[in-house]
Amino acid sequence: MQDWNALDDETFRGEVRRFFREHHPQSLRYASRRPRWREVRDWWATLYRHNWIAPAWPREHGGMGLSPAKLLIFIEEQESYGAARTPDQGIINLGPLLIRYGTPEQQRKYLPPTLSGEYIWCQGYSEPDAGSDLASLRTEAVLKGDEYVVNGSKIWTTMAHDATHIFLLARTDKQAKKQEGISFLMMDMRSSGITVRPIRNIAGHEEFCQVFFDSARTHRSNRVGEQNRGWSLAKALLGFERIFIGSPKYCQFTLAQLAALAAERGLMDDPVFSDRLVQLRLDTEDLASVFARFAEVMRNGSETLGPEVSMLKIWASETFQRITEFTLESLGNAGAIAAALPCGDRTIDAVNTFYYARPATFYGGSNEIQRNILAKHVLRLPE
């Protein structure tokens, strides 16, 4: 397996650029919605066949083992090319968690089929009455013999209708305090007692789902970590998720669209437009620099991600929103058209991207909650 980190940055960038140009399906470039599994299955298989499916995973677990600097280059080229996003919860969230906290048996059982696409994962965290206040979750798991019996529901479960498996938090001790008595479980979505109901979003797409558990069962060996100690794992996974949400990829993708729009319409001749665009580019570059720092911590595994990672999530989501708002403004009257508009060698669906940016400030923990975390645990401000 090639050591990509041994290449100089420009050589590596050229390799990534060539790979996407030669292998990525043209029909999936600059997708205006989250593709379904049936649409990206072949693209996943291509990535897997070339050992490119998990850029940040260590090489010993089948990943590319990219350093943070190389990972940023990978993301930049991926977004610049408009590559489609795959159903990657298992790659970006569960995989790193199992690599760090799972048993050797769990790693052998779940990591290879997660890489190959045999297992497609969704995340069962939020509930109808437990979103940002995740510790208030009510989904219950009762251990009966060697199996947990799970009852409750999860909501805003991304791409659950395509998933074969789910990782979730469930309350295993109803008498314990809110952040105690919670366990981290993995379940087969094909198990009896699991029902999935898609939710149509404002753009008319069914990206999210509600998942119902009616005495669904999973073996106790599918619990990660100790019983009633799942909250620490939840925080670790949220750290991975906030790093992913804090990636500059969405900002870079939307900036690329905005730059194409500026070139098409000659907007760079306007000094006000140019000034605002440069400011957004600087914000995105700063975001990429901070992202690299946290990615290095995650890659080394030598220390736990601290509460300051909340800064990354705030920065990325709010910058993303500002870029989409400026894009709509720059389109003028065309900014009210909810459709793909031709722009040079690509199309721009600015309204749909704007829609997609709206929930960015509250998934993964609302920005208000993130600011409270920073105030309390980083700035040490009084409650």
Active-site positions read 241
Q: Residues 6 or more apart from 15 whose CB is under 8 A from it?
A: 4, 7
CA gap 335, 350 in Å, rounded: 7
CA gap 160, 87 in Å, rounded: 9
Q: What is the largest CA-CA distance in the chain?
A: 71
CA gap 72, 8 in Å, rounded: 14
Backbone angles phi, psi at 15, to 5 degrees: -65, -45
CB atoms within 10 A of CB 233: 22
Please state whether beta strands 165-171 and 121-124 pair in parallel, antiparallel, or not at all (unpaired).
parallel
Per the listing, tokens 């009510």 go with 138
Q: Which of 254, 246, 271 is nearest to 364 (CA)?
A: 246
CA gap 308, 235 in Å, rounded: 13
Cβ atoms 124, 212 nearer than 8 A: no
3-state secondary structure of 23: helix
Structural tokens at position 232: 């620490």
Structural tokens at position 181: 């008595």
Beta pairing partners, 341: 348
CA gap 357, 89 in Å, rounded: 19
Please report how many Cα atoms fall inside a 13 Å half-sphere around the Cα of residue 132, on the Cβ side.
Answer: 14
Q: State the Cα angle at 246 between 211 and 268, rounded to 5°.
A: 120
3-state secondary structure of 20: helix
Number of helices (H), then strands (E), belonging to the chain: the values are 12, 10
Distances (CA, A) of 238 to 112, 139, 374: 23, 18, 15
